[in-house]
Chains A and B, each alone.
Chain A
Amino acid sequence: MSVLDTIRKYREAGYYKEFDYHWGMTVDLDRCTGCEACVVACQAENNLPIVGESSFAQRREIKWMRIERYWEGEYPNAKLNFIPMFCQQCDEAPCETACPVFATYHNQDGLNTQIYNRCIGTRTCAVYCPYEVRYFNWFTYTWDEPLERQLNPDVSVREKGVMEKCTFCIQRIRQAKDLAKDDDRRKVRDGEVTPACAQSCPTEALVFGDLNDPESRVSKMANDPRGYQVLEEQNTSPSVVYLQKVHGDEEAI
């Protein structure tokens, strides 16, 4: 492919549809109970630091995956809604355009990647992100001996001044791709790769897969009539589709 073709391709809005993968996730809010198993799974998988009480008090927690709570109504009709919030891997991500040094960009799998060793810490991406899923390393966080022995060797530990965020467990995606290659397969099969959050979810609310493959579970889930995208009016084209919670029992699945 000539350079010109490449440029032309990347100029088209939906260019990622032509690639092998377009990783995406669906979150079934009707299944999600807000139990936060995903939060710890993410922390364990991705070496998220233990920031300590004072950092929490200053709202400097680092949780790539978090659960947001929204109440409706007043007592006694108060209702609580949970919504897991993590990087939406937007195809038209505001954060990507913001980085002066290409520390974040869109890779060929439709992932919004964050390259830690490239980041200089202007934090513009976090300002631009409507979902507030980017987390900054205000300090170099350390682990009390011997907690650091738990750290996942496939994921780097970030130092002070670096922005970080959900990667859809890119290390797992890579491993799955390697295995597929060892097997002489061009593509990873549906279900072969699951990020830590989806893997741990006790209610199977999170489904991960390739949105380019119309037969994948996630594609089918994304076409559910309950599907919507959070802050759709921001036109960020997220790769995460939420399935709306069903209110009342008359609406069958």
Chain B
Amino acid sequence: MDITGTFQYEEDAISAAQGLHAAGIKNVSLMSPIPMHAAEKALGLGKSNVRKFTLIGAILGGLGGFSMCVATALVFIMPTGGRAIIALPPYLLITYETTILIGVLSTLVGFFLVAKLPAWKNRPYRVEANVNRFVVAVESPSSNEVKKAEQIIRGAGALGIEQTGGTL
């Protein structure tokens, strides 16, 4: 059982979410049709950890790409064109590409991990959240939290409040 509250205005939703946080209620999520930079600040979401994935991925990609070039060249020594077996200019090009490739892929992984996606089942959701409403949801509150949560949400000016099972 989850609780969702629908809001017309961004500020109301943010204040509801902040109130819930302040009340020590866990598993609060604030849904919106567009990114809310104000809310992110309010909810204490600073620099995202995705950037670590990107950096580490890119570094690993670069190292991996260069090592791949060197290692595969050494499996069979195949001289070509009188050039060096470990030739820096071409290998750096490959390194450049793999840096980006792995950087992008690990950013993607980072996105999934940080955003905890994909998650297809049993989560509170209101379709309006993707149109023009803001939704504050409390996921599986304990029985003593239910009242308190509903109170805070209503207090912040919710258009409606619902107790639902996971709808998504």
- B86's contact among A11, A97, A105, by CB below 8 Å, is which? A11
A104 to B81, CA, bound (A): 10
Taking the complex as formed, is B85 at the interface, i.e. its CB lies under 8 A from any CB of chain A?
A: yes
Residues on A with C-beta less than 8 A from B81 are 90, 92-97, 106
User: Restricting to B75-121, which residues have a CB under 8 Å from any CB of A?
Assistant: 76-86
Give chain A nearest CB distance to B79 CB in angstroms.
5
Complex Cα spacing A10 to B76, Å: 12
Interface size class of B (residues with CB under 8 A): 10 to 19
- A residues 74-117 near B (Cβ < 8 Å) are 90-97, 99, 102, 104-106
Residues in A neighbouring B76, C-beta threshold 8 A: 102
Indicate whether A56 reaches chain B with its CB closer than 8 angstroms.
no
A102 to B77, CA, bound (A): 11
| Any A CB within 8 A of the CB of B42 | no
B55-79 interface code vs A (CB 8 A; 1 in, 0 out): 0000000000000000000101111
* Contact A99 B79, beta carbon cutoff 8 Å: no
| Central interface residue in A7, A90, A104, by most chain B CB within 10 Å | A7
Chain B min CB distance to A7 (Å): 5
Residue of A3, A6, A93, A237 touching B80 (CB-CB under 8 A): A93
User: Which of A3, A10, A95, A237 is within 8 Å of B79, CB to CB?
Assistant: A10
Interface residues of A in 127-163 (CB under 8 A from B): none
Q: Which of B79, B80, B86 has a CB less than 8 Å from the CB of A15? A: B79
Q: Is A13 an interface residue (CB 8 A)?
A: yes
Partner of A99, one of B74, B80, B82: B80
Residues of B near A15 (CB, < 8 A) are 79, 82
22 intermolecular pairs with C-beta atoms under 8 Å apart? A7-B74, A7-B84, A7-B86, A10-B77, A10-B79, A15-B79, A90-B81, A91-B82, A92-B81, A92-B82, A92-B83, A93-B80, A93-B81, A94-B81, A96-B81, A102-B78, A102-B80, A104-B80, A105-B80, A106-B78, A106-B79, A106-B80
Q: Which residues of B contact A (CB under 8 A)?
A: 74, 76-86
Q: A15-B82, A106-B80 are in contact. List 18 more A-B contacts (CB 8 A).
A: A3-B74, A6-B77, A7-B77, A7-B84, A10-B79, A10-B84, A11-B85, A90-B81, A90-B82, A96-B81, A97-B80, A102-B76, A102-B78, A105-B78, A105-B79, A105-B80, A106-B79, A106-B82
B-binding residues in A (CB < 8 A): 3, 6-7, 10-11, 13, 15, 90-97, 99, 102, 104-106, 237
